[in-house]
Structure 1
Amino acid sequence: MRGQGNAEAPSEAKSRPAAATLPSDGTKLPSDGTTQLAAATSSASTALPGGTAAVRELLLALSAGFTLPSPLPDNLEGRSDLPGIIDSAIDAQLLMPDGSVVGTVRHALLTSTPVPTIHALQRELVDKLAAEGRPLGELARDLARGGLQDSRVAAELEEAADNVLETEPAMAAALYAESVLAGAKEMPKAACRAQAAAGIGDLDSAGRLIDRLLALPEPPDVRRGVDVAASVWAQRGMMSRSADTYSWLGPGKTAASAPLAAIAMIGSGDTAGAEAMVADGGSRRSPTHLAVALSLASDGLRQTLGQKPHLGLPSLIRASDMMNAAGTAIPLPEAPAVLAALCALHSGETAVAASVLKAAVAAGQGGDSMRPRLYLLQAWCAMQQDNTDDARLAINEANKANHWALAPREEFLLAALELGLARRGGEVHELVLAWDRAREAMMHVSVDLFSLLPWGEVLVAAARLRESHRVSHYLHGAWDLLERLGNPPLWSVPLHWAAVQAALLSESPTDLAPHAAALVRASEHSHYAGVLAAGGKAWVSVLAGRFAAADVETAARGLAAVGMPWEGARLAGHAAARADERRDMVKLLACARDIHPQGGHAPAEAHEESPASTAPAPEPNGLSAREIEVARLMLEGKTYREIGEAIYISPRTAEHHVARMRRRLGAENRSELLVRLRIALGEGHPPGE
């Protein structure tokens, strides 16, 4: 800006010399930019009292961080000719009217001036602002990035980072890094820096900082450091290490972190340790949203282990609500929303879990590092509700939630999801590929209470592929964990159900019996367990060929009501394929259709199940819609049994459909039928035929 009382008339401006040769449009200086700057200031000096040196001093001061009208360095602030110097710099197009130095000029000055000279100017600026009691603001970041080391700059950057640590960890991480550039020591704020790194998903950086911090004889901010360490261990899929970290700190030092310690310890099977931690921190609970959220989460989780586990879900939902309201992202072994969703899923309340997760995602609960987990659990809810498209969308959101790779815990959850989707899709090839990924993922994690659902899915898929021996060690760990917790029904029932399914697939009555009995015992206190027990009993009767259609239908609809429509439809479809009476077959097929309307293959129409019934009107290619469906499955290499399971018809009916297609297409044998089917379906001849 110009000095006061120095406005010039247009005619005077026109009579001035031509502008200096430095560009004012932001283009880069050539390699001899410093020479051009000297030439430019020399050209301007003919109209200036004080000459080139005065202009250069002004431009250098402004480039170093000073501003117009003040503060300015002492050698400029008292000059009576300052307004004229400013005018000359503007007219020479070295200074913009708003008081900022032209970019190319600033670059030339800063690169051509000795660094000690620049830093001396910047320290003088910091002195002046400090004397006036003014904060450095964004200037502190510029000074740090420019290499100025000054304790006042570092302190202001650390304070700014502290203020945004729990709401904007990415910004906090950048500010802490800049404070170190400004000369701050690393260890006093190591816990905060680690928290910021963990908050954006950079587990490696966070872990390295914490390792150095906790190795000190007396670590500063140790409780925060332990919170970060526990969170990192949990994300790495090692919840027992989270609990060990709090045990290392000791009950006397956990204070406000006591609820987090209790969550980690319950997750690893240590109820006594959890109670000791809660007892230590109970008298110092704060009334803030965050403190209430953590307290409710710990209390609700402990309730799920007791005689009335249904009381835990409302507490956990309120904990999630309060965490959303708090709007902070602190290190967590597990988020309240995740605990609430898991509790709901373990209770057969899939819709409730989905609702809690949706609210948590919208509120950004847990910050960036927790977003992938929330999305993956949303995908799990969608899979349970037999909504494959929504599950895939949620998985995509999880993969792009932040630019860091998924933590091992989330990688395992994703692998189990892919297994579940492949198993429900009925494609053996996809299931095998998903199994290979799951085998890799599960080697990087250990079993904890909050991972039982994915372990259950892994157990069933392993039985389906005759690979149960590869997961037996992990499942022993899961049963041991539950036993240490007192075999709480809420947490153990879904795993018992998975074990029943695995035993049915393995055709192993010996393995099935204890888990079926456990479901029956749990049904005395759990409606969900009762539904699963009835479902398991119905499966056994269907596979034995001795079942009542009404009992199977009741069991199938019960499974659908507790968030398992795919499982219910599967049960009804299998029973229909084995029914002796046409009336029962039709009834069970209608049940499967009713509870699984959006499956990969629509259930069969009742009249198509009778080989002697009138065939539907053929399509232009000579095949009915049902025959086209059977034909596509046949071309995929499926057997009559697999075709029947895929579209809820009996193997005998599938065979009759194939025979009818052979007659209709005039095929003499199976190979000829396959060729004619490819032509009829517009797929042409495969290579080599």
Structure 2
Amino acid sequence: MDQLGYELEKIDGGLSDLLLALSVGFDLAGQMPPALDQAAESLDHLVTRARAAGLLRADGRLVPLVRQAVLAATPPYRVREAQRALVDAFTAEGRSLGDVARGLARGGLRDPRIARALEREGDNVLAERPALASALYDEAGAAGSDELTTAARRAQAASAVGDLDGAGRILDNLLSSEGAPDLLRGVDVAAATWAQRGMLVRSAEVYRWLGADRTGPSASLAAVAMIGIGDREGAETMLKAPGPSGSPTLAAVAVGLMGEGISASIAAQPTHALPALIRASDMMTASGSSIPLPEVPAALAALVALHSGEPAVADSVLDDALAGEQAGPAARPRLLLLRAWTAMQLDRPDRARAAITEAGACEGGLAPRDELLFDALEVGLARRTDDTAALVHAWQRARERILHVSVDLYSLLPFGELAVAAARLRDSARLEPQLAEAWALLERLGDPPLWSIPLRWHAVQAAILAERPSDLAPHASALVRASGNNHLASVLAAAGRSWVAVLAGHIDVDAVEAAARGLAAVGMTWDGSRLAGHAAPRADERKDMARLLACARDLHPGSVVSVSAETEPVPTLPAVRTTVRPSAGQPADAGSEGAVLSPREREVARLVLEGKTYREIGAAIFISPRTAEHHIARIRRRLGAATRSELLAQLRLSLGEEASGPP
């Protein structure tokens, strides 16, 4: 490079001017700087000399190494003169500076024309490519643009790629400035950022600060935030404000439908909520925009579907939104976690795990709001697989997580799941403040059935697990009262009655089976199978026990199915061969090939190693305690184990890495 620079210093003025012009971005096919028109040699002759010297490629562009050497060897003031001449030429011809502007800004040129060009480029890609927009705004700042002027847009770009801290710092400066430019956009970004942090109450506050008269097209977003924290009157005030004039865009239509849908969801008859929110999701996906939102339309639609007992609808909405990359990369983790939640409800744990893994791998990580959902999913999956060790571990993480977020309408499902787990682990006191906040929120909204019924069902389950009938009564009564006008409430009320009867020892087989299948029909397959499986060993007649066990197995077969099970066969697990240890006084048979445990016996053996009792084993795999006892006796005979400690040792050796849990 040094030698090349030394050689370039020997070049005469005309050729030197040509090389400098090409180095800063001039093109032989366009206008060249005036200095070359006044050169002693014609442009064609200069180009011929440059090619002959190996400085130009055949297409008329400089060899990259030559360009670097020219810029390094030329005094900075001459480089800046040439760069400004380039901007003058583009401006005179009415040409877009485009990529030339980026190169000039990176090269250190400060020029308002460059700054404006980069701002325009950033605006053009902000909705669809926020990461690129962020880079363009930074380059515009380097070229001399006013940072306060672009603050709202820079914050939007940062928020859209998941940089909540960066967006927050920009917004602090913007919203504290008197006469802040682009204020509505800044407020929308602030509201979206607070919502992702799990502090929706701050989202509502920033819209209140702005005022209904200034929300304009964001009135529906303000309503989503306010209804989410229980401020029904505030939401109504926002929605009554005059709407924007002009033809609405796809994104604007989606936002308007969000307001309509979420308002309908808190009505006594919320029949219009789900259709409006599904249309909002469709329109937002079609728009291709990643505008700042307190909640994504697909997420709202999925939450309303889940609260309505329609997990399959939620799954379909989420699949469409994910396929269409709704609301950009920042929304993807939340949509994936909600997909995992629907899969968990639909008793598809492998699909749930796959979605959780994909969400955790998303660039930018999880926002605090989504970390709560992630932890609640881990708790829910552990509870549904009776994995006590995993449940304890997941609960320990979740109980710390809840300290970082506040309760809102859109987080009731994870808090409900955590309430049941806390009751099972005898740790309900930790969640009492959050649950009290949830009930107060629902009361402020008039106890809307769509949102309150699933939480009441969680409260019923928690009361049963905690053996606190006084806590159960008000929620069971509320479900019964709502059952006349709400199908999900009627199903849950029937299931609640069956659970209470089963625990009291009164088994009505027809009622239990109907309740279990009713739960499955509203997307609570695991709950239904659990009810039938719990009732089975308490039935008086053997035929009733068999019938309930068959119902439990039918609803929850317990088979492990891969995510691609629709297109690929499910492989069967090979039989485990075990070495038989001779019992006392019995010689070992050197030619023995060992005992083979059946798949069911392996399943029982794993539960034995986890320390389960006969009753717990039966409940886990839907067999009676007596059948579990027979399985264990048969396993002991096959392994030749004379004592329990011998049996456990043999099982650990036999199952190897499949065995887990405490002895």
Q: How much is the aligned-residue C-alpha RMSD, in angstroms? A: 2.1
1:16-48 CA distance string (max 9 Å, x none): xxxxxxxxxxxxxxxxx2333333675xxxxxx
Structure 2 match to 1:632:
606
3-state SS of 2:56 partner: coil
Amino acid at match of 1:367: G
Amino acid at match of 2:391: L
Give the alignment partner of residue 64 of structure 2, picking from 103, 125, 134.
Answer: 103
2:450 matched to 1:476? no
Structure 1 match to 2:3:
35
Structure 1 match to 2:297:
336
CA distance in 1 between counterparts of 2:638 and 2:334 reads 53
Correspondence 1:253-402 to 2 at 5 A: 253-282=214-243, 284=245, 286-401=247-362
Structure 2 match to 1:16:
none
3-state SS of 1:187 partner: coil
Structure 2 match to 1:571:
531
1:579-605 CA distance string (max 9 Å, x none): 22110011011111111124469xxxx
CA distance in 2 between counterparts of 1:519 and 1:348 reads 14
CA distance in 2 between counterparts of 1:134 and 1:622 reads 80
3-state SS of 2:242 partner: helix
Shift of 1:673: 2.1
CA distance in 1 between counterparts of 2:655 and 2:324 reads 50
CA distance in 2 between counterparts of 1:295 and 1:683 reads 55
Structure 1 match to 2:370:
410
1:223-254 CA distance string (max 9 Å, x none): 11100000000000011100000000001100
Structure 2 match to 1:660:
634
Structure 2 match to 1:436:
396
Give the alignment partner of residue 675 of structure 1, picking from 638, 641, 649.
Answer: 649
CA distance in 2 between counterparts of 1:286 and 1:509 reads 57
| Contact map agreement 2:130 2:157 (CA 8 A) in 1 | yes
CA distance in 1 between counterparts of 2:83 and 2:602 reads 80
1:508-559 CA distance string (max 9 Å, x none): 1111111111111111111001111111111111121111111110000001
Give the alignment partner of residue 642 of structure 1, picking from 583, 592, 616.
Answer: 616
Shift of 1:298: 0.6
Cα pair distance change 1:404/1:387, threshold 3 Å: same
Give the alignment partner of residue 486 of structure 1, picking from 435, 438, 446.
Answer: 446
| Contact map agreement 2:539 2:545 (CA 8 A) in 1 | yes
TM-score by structure 1 length?
Answer: 0.88
Give the alignment partner of residue 17 of structure 2, picking from 30, 37, 57.
Answer: 57
Structure 1 match to 2:479:
519
1:439-482 CA distance string (max 9 Å, x none): 22211110000000011011111111111111110000000000
3-state SS of 2:647 partner: helix
| Contact map agreement 2:265 2:273 (CA 8 A) in 1 | yes
Q: Percent identity?
A: 58
Correspondence 1:497-516 to 2 at 5 A: 497-516=457-476
Correspondence 1:441-480 to 2 at 5 A: 441-480=401-440
Between stretches 497-506 and 317-326, larger displacement belongs to 317-326
Give the alignment partner of residue 133 of structure 1, picking from 75, 88, 94.
Answer: 94
| Contact map agreement 1:257 1:281 (CA 8 A) in 2 | no
CA distance in 2 between counterparts of 1:339 and 1:297 reads 8
Cα pair distance change 1:108/1:543, threshold 3 Å: same
| Contact map agreement 1:285 1:291 (CA 8 A) in 2 | no
Between stretches 56-65 and 79-88, larger displacement belongs to 79-88
Give the alignment partner of residue 509 of structure 2, picking from 549, 562, 576.
Answer: 549
CA distance in 2 between counterparts of 1:282 and 1:517 reads 42
Cα pair distance change 1:362/1:685, threshold 3 Å: closer
Give the alignment partner of residue 114 of structure 1, picking from 75, 91, 95.
Answer: 75
3-state SS of 2:150 partner: helix
Shift of 1:286: 4.7
Shift of 1:632: 2.1
CA distance in 2 between counterparts of 1:379 and 1:490 reads 21
Shift of 1:663: 3.9
CA distance in 2 between counterparts of 1:623 and 1:321 reads 52
| Contact map agreement 2:257 2:276 (CA 8 A) in 1 | yes
3-state SS of 1:309 partner: coil
Structure 2 match to 1:605:
none
Give the alignment partner of residue 584 of structure 1, picking from 509, 528, 544.
Answer: 544
Give the alignment partner of residue 249 of structure 1, picking from 210, 231, 234.
Answer: 210
CA distance in 1 between counterparts of 2:42 and 2:482 reads 91
Shift of 1:52: 3.4
CA distance in 2 between counterparts of 1:38 and 1:54 reads 17
CA distance in 2 between counterparts of 1:260 and 1:641 reads 51
| Contact map agreement 1:621 1:680 (CA 8 A) in 2 | no
Cα pair distance change 1:147/1:661, threshold 3 Å: same
Cα pair distance change 1:34/1:673, threshold 3 Å: closer
| Contact map agreement 1:256 1:285 (CA 8 A) in 2 | no
Give the alignment partner of residue 536 of structure 1, picking from 493, 496, 500.
Answer: 496
Shift of 1:297: 1.2
Q: What stretches of structure 2 of length at least 5 have no aligned partner?
A: 562-577, 580-593
Amino acid at match of 1:35: Q
CA distance in 2 between counterparts of 1:636 and 1:550 reads 34
Amino acid at match of 2:121: A
CA distance in 1 between counterparts of 2:500 and 2:411 reads 28
Cα pair distance change 1:161/1:680, threshold 3 Å: closer
Cα pair distance change 1:684/1:140, threshold 3 Å: closer
1:342-374 CA distance string (max 9 Å, x none): 110000000000111111111221111111111
Cα pair distance change 1:600/1:637, threshold 3 Å: farther
Amino acid at match of 1:440: E
| Contact map agreement 1:627 1:657 (CA 8 A) in 2 | yes
Correspondence 1:8-27 to 2 at 5 A: none
| Contact map agreement 1:255 1:284 (CA 8 A) in 2 | no
Cα pair distance change 1:324/1:395, threshold 3 Å: same
3-state SS of 2:380 partner: helix
Structure 1 match to 2:575:
none
Structure 1 match to 2:590:
none
Shift of 1:289: 1.9
CA distance in 1 between counterparts of 2:327 and 2:246 reads 20
| Contact map agreement 1:493 1:519 (CA 8 A) in 2 | yes
Structure 2 match to 1:419:
379
- How many aligned residue pairs are there? 630
1:381-413 CA distance string (max 9 Å, x none): 111101111111111221233x21211001111
Amino acid at match of 2:126: L
CA distance in 2 between counterparts of 1:536 and 1:118 reads 80
TM-score by structure 2 length?
Answer: 0.92
Shift of 1:622: 5.2
